[in-house]
Amino acid sequence: MEMLHADGIRKTFGNLEVLRGVSLTANKGDVISLIGGSGSGKSTFLRCLNCLEHPTGGEIRVDGDAIAFRPDGHGNMEPASKTQMRRIRARLAMVFQSFNLWSHMTLLENVIEAPVHVLGVDRKQAVDEGLRLLQRVGLYDKRNTYPAFLSGGQQQRGAIARALAVQPLAMLFDEPTSALDPELVGEVLKVIRELAEEGRTMILVTHEMSFARDVSNQVLFLHGGLVEDAGPPAEVFGNPKSERLARFLGSFH
């Protein structure tokens, strides 16, 4: 069952063409990793999927719901209906490189914020679910702590709990371990791995090659705003068709 489909996504910043037509289809339970060098457009592509960046061209469909676009007056497209965009965003949970937990809220308050105020879930029910999710990512004891008093790994696990709380159709991870100290990467990857194993639909921008190889069922290698190579991880990592990909993978050894 198709959860997320993006077709021919293009994005230009001024004269710079960052994306030159990138497509992707995520079916339920797919874990798709986007890899590539810096400037390859992988983060921009991810941010186009929930329109944090306005794409210049292309089509996006979430759970069969095609996003209606109109020109935004700056050469790009903006969602034509804010209501539709909010509805879609609320179910495409994003996990950011720099966590972006809300600093004036405790961890639990962060987790129940979107369910209560965006989805209209009953507060008590949201709290019960929030506590269960915090338990799950190993942060139950920290439920009343403010983000500034948590380690990066804890903040990111909290951000994952916040993302899970909206019962997402698909989760978007934007380099979730890139801002972490090396010794904290493992605890976050462990949580993401568990989510992959329970059949969550996830799209993951990452520099963790061995992790991408382990958890994904599809890998896209982006270069210069295009998908240069794509396929199951065993194929992409074991037998890279493009020379650039081979060189890129070689730089990790």
Partner 1 sequence: MIWSPSSGSIELLTAGGWGSAMLVGLARSLTIALGAFALGLVIGIAGALGKLSGGAVARQALDLYTTVVRSVPELVLILIVYFAGADLINGILTALGQAKIDFNGAIAGIVVLGVVQGAYSTEVIRGAILSVPLGQIEAAQAFGMSSWLTLRRITLPAMLPFALPGLSNLWLIAMKDTALLAVLGFGELTQVTRQAAGTTKAYFTFFFAAGCMYLLATMVSNLLSRRLEAWATKGVAHV
Provide the phi-psi class of 63: left if phi over 0, else alpha when psi is between -120 and 50, else beta.
left
For residues 52 and 161, give the distance between their C-alpha atoms in angstroms, rounded to a whole number: 21
Q: Is 166 in the site for partner 1 (CB under 8 A)?
A: yes
CA distance 190 to 201: 16
* Amino acid identity for residue 182 in this structure: P
**HSE-up of residue 129 (Cα within 13 Å, Cβ side):** 20
Q: How far apart are CA 212 and CA 234, in angstroms?
A: 10
Q: Residue 92 belongs to what H/E stretch?
A: strand 92-95
C-beta of 126: minimal distance to partner 1 in Å? 13
140 forms part of the interface with partner 1 (CB under 8 A): no
Identify which of residues 113 and 228 has a Cβ nearer to partner 1 in the complex: 113
Does position 88 bind partner 1 by CB under 8 A? yes
Is residue 93 a contact residue for partner 1 (CB under 8 A)? Answer: yes
**Residues within window 17-76 making contact with partner 1, judged by CB under 8 A:** 50, 52
CA distance 201 to 49: 14
Q: Which of 82, 183, 198, 250 binds partner 1 (CB under 8 A)?
A: 82
Per DSSP (E only), the strands in 130-194 are 170-174
Q: Count residues near partner 1 (CB under 8 A).
A: 33
179 lies in the binding site for partner 1 (CB under 8 A) = no
89 or 143: CB nearest partner 1: 89
Tell me: does residue 113 bind partner 1 (CB under 8 A): yes
Binding site for partner 1 (CB under 8 A): 50, 52, 82, 85-94, 96, 98-106, 113-114, 117-118, 146-149, 162, 166
